[in-house]
Amino acid sequence: MTKPLEGILVVALEQAVAGPYCTSRLADAGARVIKIERPAGDFARGYDDVVSGESAYFVWLNRGKESIILDIKKEADAALLHRMISKADVFVQNLVPGAAARSGFGSNYLRKQQPKLITCDISGYASEGPSAKMKAYDMLVQAETGLSSITGSSKEPGRVGVSVCDIAAGMYAHSAILLALYELKNTGAGKAIKTSLFDGMTVPLLHHDYGGKAPERVGLRHPSVAPYASFETKDGEFILISIQNNREWEKFSAEILAKPELSKEGPFKDNMSRVKNVVALEKVISNVFRLFTRSELSEKLLVSEIAFARVNSVADFSLHGDLRRMDINTPNGPVSIPSPPAQTEGEATSVAIVPAMGEHTKLLRSEFEA
């Protein structure tokens, strides 16, 4: 069965996370993705070696691609890359600010040569803003955008546990490229797309600008909905519950807490009251939750249709019954990794290969020789 992007050629001058995330989704959809690596390779290859000797991030983000080693500071390699791009539908780059343009691969220049080309520049900050020349990695942008100030415990700021700024930028780039490909079919014209890690982290700003203040750091707890927090059970485990409206609170009060009066009157009758009196509210809930094991309480919450989650470790997640896996091949052999989140009915996930550094250099040099 053909995939929707079969026949599309993507050339990616990429490294780390944001660019590779974008192009990995294009590769999953059937695009041919040629990954340009510097002589030392994508530095994400060296993040760790936990997946059978390969980096976890690299395996996750680079399956289904072809890898070629190029030194674009050398005239012959730069000329080869230009020939590749001349055949491409999409060019993606997320090098340090200005590096692509200085090497002759700026979007404006490329699109003058190829009006049908879709270019996508992924940067840390806005390409023409005051921070344009700053290097940007995920945790730096978490700090710069204030995200770290609302993440963590009440005692100190924290980092979101995955590269959320990188991933968001890659997602925005991916969706923008798909829209540009759709428009290309109708207009015959390409697009110059720009996105940044910085631009994807703006939701807390709306709380500040229109609500008067940003959310506070409250750990595993919601700042404006209650009860929406984790509670310890009889066996020392934790369950996170979420009550989104008064209908749910009424049911929770009656069926889980056995205190139906709490939803009728008093300090917990509506969400604003519960947030205002959250310390007392959580004490009431804690006293009940400690009477049951996590398994017992999970069953009660499920029967009562109360939203909840078990606060799992990553080891627990690895054994989760809902976790779907796929087998892929790496330079060091097959590994089993989580399957892509989006599924299409009737289509099986195809086996993909993570390329060794420069694995396709010889073949690609031959294919795109002058």
Sequence-distant (≥ 6) Cβ neighbours of residue 124 within 8 angstroms = 97, 131, 134, 135, 136, 137, 140, 141, 196, 197, 198
Round to whole Å and give the CA distance between 171 and 200: 10
User: What is the identity of the amino acid at 197?
Assistant: L
For 61-82, the pLDDT digits (tens) are 999 999 999 999 999 999 999 9
For 37-53, the pLDDT digits (tens) are 999 999 999 999 999 99
Q: Are strands 32-37 and 9-13 parallel, antiparallel or unpaired?
A: parallel
User: What is the identity of the amino acid at 334?
Assistant: P
At which residue do the structure tokens 């398994």 appear?
A: 295
Q: Give pLDDT tens digits along the chain (370 positions).
A: 788 999 999 999 999 999 999 999 999 999 999 999 999 999 999 999 999 999 999 999 999 999 999 999 999 999 999 999 999 999 999 998 889 999 999 999 999 999 999 999 999 998 888 998 888 999 999 999 999 988 888 888 899 989 999 999 999 999 999 999 999 999 999 999 999 999 988 767 877 887 777 777 788 888 889 999 999 999 999 999 999 999 999 999 999 999 999 999 999 999 999 999 999 999 999 999 999 999 999 999 999 999 999 999 999 999 999 999 989 999 999 999 888 887 777 777 777 899 999 999 999 999 999 7
Task: Print the SS3 string covering the chain.
Answer: CCCCCCCCEEEEECCCCHHHHHHHHHHHCCCEEEEEECCCCCHHHHCCCCECCECHHHHHHCCCEEEEECCCCCHHHHHHHHHHHHHCCEEEECCCCCHHHHCCCCHHHHHHHCCCCEEEEEECCCCCCCCCCCCCCHHHHHHHCCHHHHCECCCCECCCCCCHHHHHHHHHHHHHHHHHHHHHHHHCCCCEEEEECHHHCCHHHHHHHHHCCCCCCCCCECCCCCCEEEEECCCCCEEEEECCCHHHHHHHHHHCCCCHHHHCCCCCCCHHHHHHCHHHHHHHHHHHHCCCCHHHHHHHHHHCCCEEEECCCHHHHHCCCCCCEEEEEECCEEEEEECCCCCCCCCCCCCCECCCCCCCHHHHHHHCCC
For 78-97, the pLDDT digits (tens) are 999 999 999 999 999 999 88
Residue 97: predicted pLDDT: 85
Sequence-distant (≥ 6) Cβ neighbours of residue 146 within 8 angstroms = 201, 204, 205, 214
Percent of the chain with pLDDT over 90: 79
Q: What is the pTM of this model?
A: 0.88
